[in-house]
Every structure is written in structure tokens, then in C-alpha cells.
């Protein structure tokens, strides 16, 4: 697939994927959420991976979420090319470089006997500051870095929050430092805060370079999700550092390619709920990319439904391919991705995506087909020839109540289109043998021996030299199509006769016939039916909506807090409770909340658990601006979470969890305050302990 055919994916190391989850990330949480829950996004993207991730707020540098937080804060390593934007920035600031300066990149580069040749493809134009960042051109950066005086770069980096920098005092050392290969070690948190600062204060050309890197340069696998950023690789670590409108993100993964190994993880963090798609390559590890669900839907519509004429039929297909993706997400888990890009899963044709297909994806964004609280098995085929097939007759383990055989009067109205396929006895035997199926040594006769309820062939008998063999019609079709071309036996709705030396199959329809019939869907749409009508017809008993529970979140504005509820009538009394709790939390702490807290009350404990991943005995939790609560929370719980909300903005990231939690329990006057906290409170006063949130705990605690 096109988006993989990219020079940046130079090496793909295997990393275990998150366990296959069949529920879309939005399930149980509605899609009305106005705020990203960074802890949830980071945990989901990093699940099962070794590596480090950190998300900080752009405006304050405050940590919003980490994975391997101790590493994020304390493990300093060579930053490689993620340092380049700061070098360009320093050169521009010191007037040693103008945005218009260029260099013809000679590609090869050796410094002190080490090879630092550029890895970008040959460029047909001189490199500028912008394209140097986009393509990560070592030559450009090393060349202009020589205009810096001894120690100047180190001073600039220190001034921008990098503490572990050694002044470079020779041309070689300056160039190595500029490439992030010597004389500078950064922690992921330092780098994230550096990028947060850069996003706000660096010259435009630097920011444009980082935008270009995701648009056409080394960081393309972090593209189309609002990220700008830079990749890097050094010391066996793959880096991505970048920013969105609101946050800066750094991902460090084991690997040899920042573009291939770290950039797509950053994309998953800022655009959660998508799928990892892999392209299998003979004898090579698969290429993998993370795609948002809507990117995937547009590509799959292009591969699987590009012939549909009506917008409503395309929308129905968009819901089907989206649902299929989450239902079968993880089926290639052992290969390190979720779905392949062929008809085995769903065929992707990114090169043929057009505005019409994108529109259909957009118009149905976030909608799935549900059955009994789970995404449906949304099979579809091109032309059922008037009768759909029961899934259980094709795949015995897929018998579902909404995938039954039924008359499709819509496609039947257009008339059945017949097809014919002839194959010699020898070619038929070869095809079966190639597929590992048993067959007579010479086939004299082929007969349909059993049919499904829809009239499709279920089983065939092959007779000839060496006896009689029975074979499932779907196996025969697969064997013939694989050997002789995918359009040979178009369906199993056929008759077969011997004519001379050949067996002639005459049939109707295209595809297995299960689920949505694309031809019929087009007819329905042309007669004015909506995509919901189409889905209801082909998948009877299913529901279309954003999540299993189909929560419709409503907002009630309080004086200080916003309450999000699915049942405003029931939860209305919580609004003054939340307002009071916030005021009380401010009084107790002497701090003032700068943001409006969003208090989300779930309609059931199960819904709360699904959405938060907290055990049922946790009454609520607080993530950034969002406070999430179980149904009917006591005022004490609301106060507890409000205290977290007020304090969190005023707390250093290295203050340990036990102290944050204990202090809040003690301040709230909770029934249960940990013993360790009780004894602290016996020896220190409130103001002193609140001060520790900002200064860190005193030594020895
Ligand atoms: Zn170059
Ligand atoms: Zn597949
Ligand atoms: Zn049909």
C-alpha cells in the first residue's frame, strides 16, 4: 500500500502489540468528549511495549501523562536528529543562518572517522532550513553548525532547558553535538518541554520544517493527526518529538528508525482508537503503519466499495468496513499488526481515495454496527444475485442471527448477471493439489452434491481415476481462484457440467453473498433509502451508533463546573454539589483552579469501568480537566476528586503518588487516610505539606 512505500521505514523491529481489543476506543465513553484523556491514550498506545512516552501541556510544560514515567524524567540519552530544530533555531537566533540559505547536499558525511551520511533520497533541489528538518539532512545541519563558536550551542541548549550539555570546543565536536550524537544527553521530559517551548517561540521556518517532516519527510507515519515533529535515532533508540495545538509529545521506542518505530506510536497517542495495518512482504518483516479509523475507512472504501454509485450506499459500506475493522482488529496480532491490507482482511487502495469516499467516511465518522453490545461481523459482498447467504453456511463458526439467508428484491430487480468459467480436467486437478486438497488422479466428473438454503453449492463430488472425493464448494472456489485468478469462480451460486474435455461452471452473483449486498444497496439508495435503512435491511436486528451503550452525553453548566451526564433529570442535583466541592477545595488548599473541571457521571458501574479501566472499587478518578465518577457519587467523593483537580495543576511531576493520594484523602477528611499520611500530618502543618507539592518532598521522606 502506498503509504508504506516510503524510504523512511528502514527497519522494522517486532514489538508486541496491545492485546486485541474488539471494542472501539470510544465505546462506553460516547464521542462527545471535548477533552482528550491523555493517560488513557498513552496507556493504550504503549500497552505491551517497552519504551517511554511523555505528553506535556504546551502552555505550561505540565506533565499530562507518561509511560515509564521514571525513565521519562531521569533517563538521559543521545537525542540524535530530534535535536536538529534547536540547532537551526540557535543559528537563526544568532544570525548565522538565514531562512533562505541553501546547501547542495553531497549525501556522504564523515566526522572524526564516523559515518554520518544522509539517509534521505536524492533531492533535486538545494536543501533549505525547512527541507533540512523535513528530510533530516545531516549535511545541512553539520555544515552550518560550523558557524557556531565554541560553547555557543551548549549555552543555547542550556537556556532552553537541556541540563546535560558539554560545551563543544572543536569543529568535529560541534558538528557531532549538532547532530545529537555527542556532548548532549536529554531526558524525554526535557525534550518534550523543549518542543513545547519551540512550538511557541521558535522562528516560523523551524515550525514549518517540523510540519513538512510529517507531511512529506521522515515523520510521515505521524501524519494527518495534527502533529508536527521530528524523528531521530541514536544508540538503539528510536525517537519522535513533536507537538499539536495543545500538547508536546515524545516517544522513545527500541528500534532503528524514528520514522518507522516511534512516529506511528506518537500518532496513536494523539489520535487513539485506530488500527495498525501491515503489509506482508515475502521473506521480509511486514511494513506497519498506524492509521486513524477514518483514514482506514476511506482507504478500505476505495479498495472494497469504489464502484458504488450512491452516497447513501457508500455510507452504509463505510459503517460496514469500520465495524469490520474493529471486529477483526488484532487478527494479525502474531505478526505485530491488527489487519492486513489485502482482501484477507479488507483491501486498501490509498492511491484511489477521492473526495466522494472521504465524504462517506466523514459523514458516518465514529458510527458502528452493533449487536448485543458488541461490534457486528459486518460481512459484505458485491452481488448476491437475489438471495443472500447465511454466514454459518460459509463459515460454520460464524452463524449469527443477523447474517441469515434472505431474498434481496433490490438487487434482483436489476436482473441477475450470469458468468461462466471453463477449466480443463488437468488444470482443475492442479489447482486442487496446489491448495493441498485431495482429488482423483484424473477427474472425469464433477457434480454439486449438496446446496445451502440459498441455493449455493455447499459440496461437490469429484469422480474419476482413484475414486470419489467430496469437497466443500468454498474450498474449491478458493483453490481455483488462487491458482487461476480471483475472478474465475465468482461465487458458489453455480451449476457445473462436463463439456468435452472441460468442466464448465455457470453461475450468478459475485462474492460469498453474506451480509450487505453492494449491488442491492445501490438500488436501495437510488430509491431514496438511507444508509440506516440499508444497514437495517442487510443486518436485521443490529443497531447503528457510536458505541454499544450509545451514550448521548449532555452538558449542564454549573457556576464553576461542567457536568456531563446521560440522564440530566437524574444527575441535575450533582451540579451544585460539584460547584460547592470546587469552592471548598480551593478554600482548603488556598489555590485557585485555572480551568473549568468537566465532571462526567457514568450511568452504570460497568460503563464507568469500561471507560476508565479503574476497578469497581474506585469511586472516581481525575485526569487533567476530566473528573469521572460512578453513578450517584457521594459529596465526599466529589470533594476528593475536586481536590486532586485543584492540586494537580500545582504539583511537580516527581511528587510520588502515595503522597498526592494521601494528602488529598487527609485534606478531604476521608474516612480512610493511609497510616503513612496520618503520621506525616501529625508532625507537619497543612501549608508546609502543600508546599511540598511545588518543591518536592523533603529528603528522607
Ligand atoms: Zn542531506
Ligand atoms: Zn488479513
Ligand atoms: Zn443482492
pLDDT at 41 (0 to 100): 87
Is pLDDT larger for residue 282 or for residue 214? Answer: 214
Q: Which residues pair with 185 in a beta bridge?
A: 164
Half-sphere exposure of 325 (CA within 13 A, CB side): 35
Percent of the chain with pLDDT over 90: 70
Nearest ligand for residue 117 CA: 1
Nearest to 273 by CA among 370, 368, 369: 368
pLDDT bracket for residue 611 (50, 70, 90): low
Q: How far is the CA of 104 from the centre of ligand 1 (A)?
A: 8
pLDDT at 606 (0 to 100): 65
pLDDT at 110 (0 to 100): 96
Nearest ligand for residue 132 CA: 1
pLDDT bracket for residue 2 (50, 70, 90): very low
Residue 647 in this model has a pLDDT that exceeds 70: yes
Q: How far is the CA of 657 from the centre of ligand 2 (A)?
A: 42
pLDDT at 7 (0 to 100): 32
d(CA 556, CA 561): 9
Q: How far is the CA of 483 from the centre of ligand 1 (A)?
A: 46
Nearest to 230 by CA among 65, 391, 80: 80
- Choose the weakest-confidence range: 207-221, 454-468, 561-575: 561-575
- Choose the weakest-confidence range: 273-287, 304-318, 503-517: 273-287
Nearest ligand for residue 109 CA: 1
Residue 618 in this model has a pLDDT that exceeds 70: no
CA 529 to mean position of chain CA atoms:
33
Query: What pLDDT digit, counting tens, does each position of 32-41 carry?
Result: 333 467 888 8
pLDDT at 563 (0 to 100): 93
pLDDT at 33 (0 to 100): 37
pLDDT at 47 (0 to 100): 86
d(CA 51, CA 601): 33
Q: How far is the CA of 540 from the centre of ligand 3 (A)?
A: 15
d(CA 117, CA 666): 59
Is pLDDT larger for residue 21 or for residue 202? Answer: 202
pLDDT at 251 (0 to 100): 97
Nearest ligand for residue 313 CA: 3
Q: How many C-beta atoms surround the C-beta of residue 597 within 10 A?
A: 26
With H, G, I as helix, E, B as strand and everything else as coil, classify residue 248: strand
Q: How far is the CA of 193 from the centre of ligand 1 (A)?
A: 27
d(CA 539, CA 1): 30
Nearest to 128 by CA among 35, 204, 227: 204
pLDDT at 655 (0 to 100): 86
Q: What is the dihedral of CA 139, 143, 149, 154, to 10 degrees?
A: -10
Q: How far is the CA of 8 from the centre of ligand 1 (A)?
A: 14
Nearest ligand for residue 515 CA: 3
Query: What pLDDT digit, counting tens, does each position of 374-411 carry?
Result: 789 999 999 999 999 999 999 999 999 999 999 999 99
Q: How far is the CA of 107 from the centre of ligand 1 (A)?
A: 5
Percent of the chain with pLDDT over 70: 91
pLDDT at 174 (0 to 100): 95
Residue 661 in this model has a pLDDT that exceeds 80: yes
Written as nine digits, the cell of 304 is: 472494497
Residue 141 in this model has a pLDDT that exceeds 90: yes
Q: How far is the CA of 232 from the centre of ligand 1 (A)?
A: 14
d(CA 614, CA 278): 32
pLDDT at 458 (0 to 100): 96
d(CA 255, CA 240): 12
pLDDT bracket for residue 619 (50, 70, 90): low
Query: Which residues have CB atoms below 5 A from the ion given as ligand 2?
Result: 340, 344-345
Q: How far is the CA of 328 from the centre of ligand 2 (A)?
A: 9
Termini Cα distance of the chain: 55
Query: Which residues have CB atoms below 5 A from the ion given as ligand 1?
Result: 105, 118, 137, 139
Q: How far is the CA of 563 from the centre of ligand 3 (A)?
A: 47
Q: How would you write 440-490 as a 3-class SS string?
A: CCEEEEEEEEEECCCCCEEEEEEEEECEEEEEEHHHHHHHHHHHHCCCCCC
Residue 621 in this model has a pLDDT that exceeds 80: no
Nearest to 153 by CA among 200, 86, 77: 86
Provide mean pLDDT across the span 679-689.
92
With H, G, I as helix, E, B as strand and everything else as coil, classify residue 530: coil
Q: How far is the CA of 339 from the centre of ligand 2 (A)?
A: 5
Taking all residues of the chain, what is their mean pLDDT, rounded to a whole number? 89
pLDDT bracket for residue 588 (50, 70, 90): very high
d(CA 308, CA 525): 10
Provide mean pLDDT across the span 613-628.
69
Q: How far is the CA of 92 from the centre of ligand 1 (A)?
A: 19
Is pLDDT larger for residue 256 or for residue 308? Answer: 308
CA 490 to mean position of chain CA atoms:
34
Q: How far is the CA of 221 from the centre of ligand 2 (A)?
A: 21
| Sign of the dihedral through C-alpha 373, 377, 382, 384 | negative
pLDDT at 691 (0 to 100): 93
Q: How far is the CA of 508 from the centre of ligand 3 (A)?
A: 11
Half-sphere exposure of 177 (CA within 13 A, CB side): 29
Nearest ligand for residue 138 CA: 1
Residue 161 in this model has a pLDDT that exceeds 70: yes
Nearest ligand for residue 389 CA: 3
Provide mean pLDDT across the span 587-605.
87
Q: Which residues pair with 281 in a beta bridge?
A: 284
Q: How far is the CA of 344 from the centre of ligand 2 (A)?
A: 4
Q: How far is the CA of 332 from the centre of ligand 2 (A)?
A: 6
Nearest ligand for residue 334 CA: 2
Nearest ligand for residue 276 CA: 2
Name the packing angle between helices 38-46 and 263-270 (round to 10°): 140
Amino acid at each position: 500500500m502506498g503509504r508504506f512505500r516510503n524510504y523512511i521505514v528502514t527497519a522494522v523491529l517486532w514489538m508486541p502489540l496491545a492485546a486485541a481489543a474488539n471494542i472501539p476506543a470510544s465505546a462506553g465513553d460516547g464521542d462527545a468528549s471535548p477533552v482528550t484523556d491523555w493517560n488513557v491514550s498513552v496507556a493504550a498506545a504503549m500497552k505491551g511495549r517497552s519504551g517511554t512516552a511523555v505528553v506535556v501541556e504546551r502552555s505550561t510544560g505540565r506533565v499530562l501523562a507518561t509511560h515509564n514515567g521514571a525513565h521519562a524524567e531521569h533517563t538521559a540519552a543521545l537525542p540524535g536528529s530530534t535535536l536538529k530544530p534547536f540547532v537551526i533555531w540557535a543559528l537563526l537566533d544568532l544570525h548565522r543562518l538565514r531562512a533562505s540559505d541553501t546547501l547542495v547536499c553531497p549525501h556522504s558525511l564523515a566526522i572524526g572517522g564516523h559515518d554520518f551520511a544522509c539517509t534521505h533520497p536524492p533531492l533535486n533541489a538545494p536543501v533549505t532550513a525547512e527541507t533540512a528538518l523535513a528530510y533530516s539532512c545531516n549535511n545541512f545541519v553539520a555544515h552550518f553548525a560550523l558557524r557556531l563558536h565554541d560553547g555557543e550551542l551548549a549555552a543555547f541548549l542550556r537556556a532552553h532547558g537541556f541540563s546535560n550539555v558539554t560545551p563543544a570546543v572543536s569543529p568535529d565536536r560541534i558538528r557531532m553535538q549538532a547532530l545529537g550524537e555527542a556532548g548532549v544527553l536529554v531526558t524525554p521530559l526535557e525534550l518534550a518541554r523543549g518542543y513545547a517551548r519551540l512550538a511557541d517561540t521558535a522562528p516560523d521556518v523551524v515550525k514549518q520544517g517540523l510540519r513538512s517532516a510529517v507531511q512529506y519527510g521522515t515523520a510521515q507515519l505521524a501524519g494527518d493527526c495534527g502533529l508536527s515533529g521530528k524523528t531521530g535515532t541514536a544508540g538503539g533508540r528510536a525517537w519522535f518529538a513533536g507537538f499539536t495545538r495543545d500538547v508536546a509529545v515524545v516517544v522513545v521506542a527500541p528500534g532503528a528508525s524514528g520514522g518507522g518505530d516511534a512516529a506511528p506510536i506518537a500518532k496513536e497517542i494523539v489520535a487513539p482508537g485506530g488500527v495498525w495495518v501491515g503489509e506482508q512482504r515475502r521473506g521480509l518483516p511486514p511494513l506497519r503503519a498506524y492509521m486513524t479509523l477514518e483514514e482506514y475507512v476511506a482507504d478500505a472504501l476505495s479498495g472494497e466499495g469504489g464502484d458504488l454509485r450512491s452516497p447513501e450506499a457508500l455510507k452504509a459500506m463505510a459503517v460496514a468496513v469500520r465495524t469490520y475493522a474493529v471486529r477483526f482488529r488484532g487478527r494479525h496480532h502474531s505478526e505485530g499488526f491488527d489487519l492486513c491490507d489485502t482482501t484477507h482482511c479488507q483491501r486498501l487502495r490509498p492511491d484511489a481515495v477521492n473526495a466522494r469516499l472521504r465524504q462517506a467516511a466523514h459523514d458516518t465518522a465514529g458510527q458502528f454496527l452493533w449487536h448485543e453490545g458488541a461490534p457486528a461481523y459486518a460481512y459484505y459482498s458485491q452481488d448476491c444475485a437475489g438471495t443472500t447467504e447465511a454466514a454459518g453456511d460459509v463459515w460454520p463458526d460464524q452463524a449469527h442471527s443477523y447474517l441469515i439467508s434472505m431474498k434481496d428484491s433490490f438487487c434482483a430487480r436489476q436482473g441477475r448477471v450470469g458468468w461462466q468459467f471453463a477449466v480443463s480436467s488437468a488444470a482443475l486437478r492442479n489447482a486442487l493439489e496446489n491448495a493441498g486438497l485431495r482429488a482423483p488422479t484424473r477427474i472425469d466428473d464433477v457434480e454439486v452434491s449438496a446446496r445451502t438454503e440459498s441455493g449455493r453449492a455447499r459440496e461437490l463430488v469429484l469422480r474419476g481415476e482413484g475414486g470419489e472425493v467430496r469437497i466443500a464448494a468454498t474450498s474449491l472456489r478458493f483453490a481455483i481462484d488462487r491458482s487461476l485468478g480471483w475472478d474465475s469462480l465468482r461465487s458458489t451460486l453455480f451449476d457445473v457440467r462436463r463439456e468435452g474435455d472441460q468442466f464448465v461452471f455457470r453461475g450468478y452473483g459475485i462474492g460469498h453473498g453474506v451480509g450487505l449486498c453492494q449491488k442491492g444497496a445501490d438500488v436501495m439508495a437510488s430509491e431514496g433509502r438511507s444508509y440506516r435503512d440499508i444497514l437495517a435491511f442487510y443486518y436485521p436486528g443490529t443497531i447503528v451508533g457510536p458505541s454499544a451503550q450509545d451514550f448521548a452525553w449532555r452538558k449542564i453548566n454549573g457556576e464553576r463546573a461542567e457536568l456531563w451526564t446521560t440522564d440530566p433529570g437524574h444527575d441535575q442535583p450533582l451540579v451544585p454539589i460539584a460547584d460547592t466541592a470546587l469552592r471548598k477545595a480551593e478554600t482548603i488548599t488556598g489555590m485557585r483552579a485555572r480551568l473549568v473541571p468537566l465532571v462526567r457521571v457514568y450511568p452504570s458501574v460497568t460503563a464507568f469501568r469500561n471507560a476508565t479501566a479503574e476497578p469497581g472499587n474506585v469511586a472516581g478518578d481525575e485526569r487533567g480537566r476530566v473528573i469521572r465518577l460512578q453513578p450517584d457519587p457521594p459529596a465526599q467523593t466529589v470533594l476528593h476528586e475536586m481536590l486532586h483537580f485543584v492540586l494537580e495543576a500545582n504539583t511537580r511531576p516527581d511528587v510520588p503518588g502515595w503522597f498526592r493520594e494521601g494528602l488529598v484523602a487527609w485534606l478531604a477528611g476521608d474516612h480512610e487516610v493511609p497510616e503513612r499520611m496520618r503520621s506525616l500530618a501529625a508532625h507537619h502543618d497543612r501549608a508546609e505539606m502543600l508546599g511540598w507539592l511545588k518543591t518536592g518532598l523533603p529528603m528522607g521522606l
